[in-house]
Amino acid sequence: MTDEPATTTDVTGTERAATGATPEDGDVTGAQVAGTAGPDDGTSRSGDGAAGGDDVLVTVEGLEVHFPIKRGIVLERTVGYVYAVDGVDLTIRRGETYGLVGESGCGKTTLGRGLLRLVEPTGGRVVFDDIDVSTLKGERLRKSRRRMQMIFQDPLSSLDPRQSVESILIEGMRAHGLDSGKESTRARLVELLDSVGLPESALHKYPHEFSGGQRQRIGIARALAVEPDLIVADEPVSALDVSVQAQVLNLLEELQQRLGLTYLVIAHDLAVVRHISDRIGVMYLGSLVEEASSDEMYAEPMHPYTKALLSAVPVPDPTVEDEREQILLTGDLPSPANPPTGCRFHTRCPWKQETLCDTDRPQLRDVGGGHRVACHYAEDILAGRITSHEVEPELVHPDS
């Protein structure tokens, strides 16, 4: 494991926390962690008691994040919107890990940032521990952020290269009044580093002196420094080597059990998500299309998009891999600035029907046991009453 090259910037650590890493850098595939968490290895966390029953910590209702498209130089005008997140409803229970998956560009990262108000939602509401975060302003919003922290995707660009590890960790503590004295603060910093597996000597070093996995551990320690209840982990292992991925995932699980943390883990690697999650939500083009427990999602996916995603996860068994169904999606991902009418997946869906699919947008509905799916024909597809067919690819125009 070698250190990555350092980069320089004038942005402060606080500003970096507001911007973070680019949403979809460093993509990895399910094959990279197939050896540690494959689809059939029985490592799913569902039902292990990590979730706190029905004690809901976060409720997201109709969350929307729309970015305006502007044109003009002298007279700038809004000519449309990018519907990055468009009406998402979900709940996260206290003490559980909620995995959010989907293709690059589906809105996962924007949803996580909107939940923390690192980007301002244009609609809907976020209720955190009975407090409507979407209405908070000024000092009340700043104080609420102590309980909600984020681990950014790129461990290098999210750390200020001009600050030492000690300065990075102590910054948030001072901002929230947790810097109680030189000796006690020093002891707290040493404790934080020890909890993420780093030595005390790391306090005087700078981000460029660490490997990728060590930098991610610093990012985790920074999130833990203010004693949060919820941590949004945006692709926490996608930029890391396979062996380091397993170490960081195991560290997150250990910290959750010891500190009672609640996680929203954003990823597109389904093997990683199954390994760490209690429940899983699948996003497509700004919307949640399916939600279920980890075991149920992998055993019986109901939405055509989820079926396609799971069919792409490699199985560490050559016989099973050769015999199982492979679903290859045709066509390009539609533009979030001009999403299709009706079901947004109907342009690529192998089970598309002549009615409803291209006219009526399906609602996320409960089909039993807390399994929710946004598909008009989910039960018929599962029962085999509707068979798949070839999909004619549709041209996606650059200006659409």
Q: Mean pLDDT over residues 215-233, rounded?
A: 93
Residue 73 lies in a domain: yes
pLDDT bin (cut points 50, 70, 90) of residue 393 is low
Residue 396 lies in a domain: no
Look up the pTM and report it: 0.82
Pick from 266, 207, 210: which is nearest to 238 by CA? Answer: 266
Q: What does the block give as tokens for 12? A: 């402060």
Q: What is the chain's mean pLDDT, rounded?
A: 83
Residue 400 lies in a domain: no
25-53 confidence digits (pLDDT tens): 334 333 333 333 343 444 445 444 444 44
Give the structural domain span for 51: 13-383
Residue 159 lies in a domain: yes
Alpha helices, H only, 153-241: 165-175, 182-195, 212-224
Distance CA 266, CA 230 (A): 13
Domain containing residue 378: CATH number: 3.40.50.300
Looking at the structure of the chain, the number of domains it has is: 1
**E strands of 72-203, at which residues?**
77-93, 97-101, 123-128, 131-132, 148-151
Residue 365 lies in a domain: yes
pLDDT bin (cut points 50, 70, 90) of residue 320 is low
Per-residue pLDDT at 333: 82
Residue 392 lies in a domain: no
Residue 217 makes CB contacts below 8 A (sequence gap 6+) with 196, 197, 198, 248, 251
118-176 confidence digits (pLDDT tens): 999 999 999 999 999 989 999 999 999 899 999 998 888 889 999 999 999 999 998 88
Residue 179 lies in a domain: yes
* Under 8 Å between Cβ of 277 and 297: no
Local structure of 259: helix, strand or coil: helix
Tell me the backbone φ, ψ of residue 275, rounded to 5 degrees.
Answer: -65, -35
Residue 279 lies in a domain: yes
What is the spatial order of strands in the sheet that 287-293 belongs to? 148-151, 230-234, 262-266, 97-101, 279-284, 287-293, 372-373, 365-366
Q: How far from chain centre, in Å, is Cα 365? A: 22
